[in-house]
Amino acid sequence: MAPGRRILVAGAGSVGCHAGGCLARAGLPVTLLLRPSLAERLAGGLRLSDLDGADWQLPPGSLRLATDPAAAMADAGLVLVTVKGGDTDDIGQLIAAFAPADAPVISLQNGIGNAERLATLLPGRRVLAGMVPFNIVQMPDGRFHRGTSGTVMLADDLPGLAAALNVPGWPVAGRTDMEAVLWGKLLLNLNNGLNALSGLPLVQQVADRRWRCLLAAQMAEALVLLHQAGIRPAKVSGVKPALLPFVLRLPDWLFRRLAGAMLRMDPLARSSMWEDLQRGRRTEIDRLQGAVLALAQRLGHNPARAAPTCARVLALVQQAERAGAGSPRLPADAVSGAALPGG
């Protein structure tokens, strides 16, 4: 990145603030483009914490807070896109209008196809796919808390970029198989909707075989469709994707013994989709379960028949969105036995 240029985090929410805070703490020049309400909250500094016990306070001035896209993007040398998938078009148009044309753009969004969409909106610019594996939630005391572990993965297209962004609290590695990585991450993200519906801390939900069987059913549906499409999802956890449904269905005692690493998460951690429901925001369910259903449709299947569990979870999360009352705190049996609207 050229001298005088900055790392712009475009659409800084939980993930963006954590990323920007870690990079700024390491001495890199960072600008957060964020909502006015969040900019006001962070005017006194940014606090980060994680499941390993880190608790860092960045004083005011450690990074630049901006609410005006034109001002925020004018001196960008690198753009990290952290908005939800449904906002990709909006942020892409702002980048096209205001960011320097030579600034690489990295999609750090959940779901499939975000980098490709940005590339369409930004012809001639370097756009890379990325993947954030861990869970970050805004805590009641204002902290941005990373409750799970993992390594951020970037398309290995720009020599030295992954190493330059690899800082304490924000581990980064380059990959040459990002489509497979994104599908591998999506399989794990199918739990986000379940966690949002349960209202439970992640470690408590995943420790319960009834919830794990619902996740296993969704994964099994997705894996069949991925096989038909000729897509081999990459391993982004400690278990190969093809084995995940089997491992998740193990009895609780055996799951704890053989897959205990999957339970290594902060007792406070919940999914970002749970946070969205609590805050009355639109979720990314259409980018997760919706991506599985879209794949089924592209393959010529009836989506609700090819992936019934994914369809059911999507419908229930959308119902909770419309209700606007936060997590419905459903028991697992209610999710597994719920009828689809009109069914």
176-234 pLDDT, tens per residue? 999 999 999 999 999 999 999 999 999 899 999 999 999 999 999 999 999 999 999 99
Q: Please write the tens of the pLDDT for every residue from 249-262.
A: 999 999 888 877 67
Return the percentage of the chain with pLDDT > 90, whole number: 77
The pLDDT value given to residue 338: 58
Q: Judge whether residue 341 has pLDDT over 80.
A: no
Per-domain residue ranges for the chain?
6-176, 179-337
Q: Which of 57-61, 143-147, 244-248, 285-289 has the lowest mean pLDDT?
A: 143-147
pTM for this model (two decimals) = 0.88
How confident is the model at residue 87, as a pLDDT?
92
CA angle at 28 for the pair 82 and 173, rounded to the nearest 5°: 60
pLDDT averaged over every residue in the chain: 92
Burial class (CB in 10 A: 0-12, 13-18, 19+), 118: buried
DSSP 8-state code for residue 257: H
- pLDDT band of 342, cuts 50, 70, 90: very low
Q: Fill in the amino acid letter for 236.
A: V
What is the predicted pLDDT for the residue at 269?
81
Domain 6-176: which topology? Rossmann fold (3.40.50)
Determine which of 88-92, 177-181, 335-339 has the lowest per-residue pLDDT on average.
335-339
The length of the chain, given as a count of residues? 343
158 by Cβ neighbours in 10 Å (0-12 / 13-18 / 19+) ranks as middle
Decide: helix, strand or coil at residue 158: coil
pLDDT digit string, tens, across residues 103-133: 999 999 998 999 999 999 999 999 999 999 8
| Predicted local distance difference test score (pLDDT) of residue 343 | 35
Residue 139 has what pLDDT?
Answer: 82
CA distance 306 to 143: 41
Secondary structure E strands in the chain:
6-10, 30-33, 46-50, 55-58, 64-66, 76-81, 105-107, 127-131, 136-138, 144-146, 152-155, 172-175
Domains 6-176 and 179-337 share a fold: no
At 339, the pLDDT band (50, 70, 90 cuts) reads very low
**Strands of the 55-58 sheet, one edge to the other:** 55-58, 46-50, 144-146, 136-138
Cβ contact 17:144 at 8 Å: yes
Does domain 179-337 sit in CATH 3.10.110.10?
no
Q: Pick from 43, 118, 41, 123: which is nearest to 80 by CA?
A: 118
DSSP code of 59?
Answer: P
The secondary structure element, H or E, covering residue 210 is helix 209-228
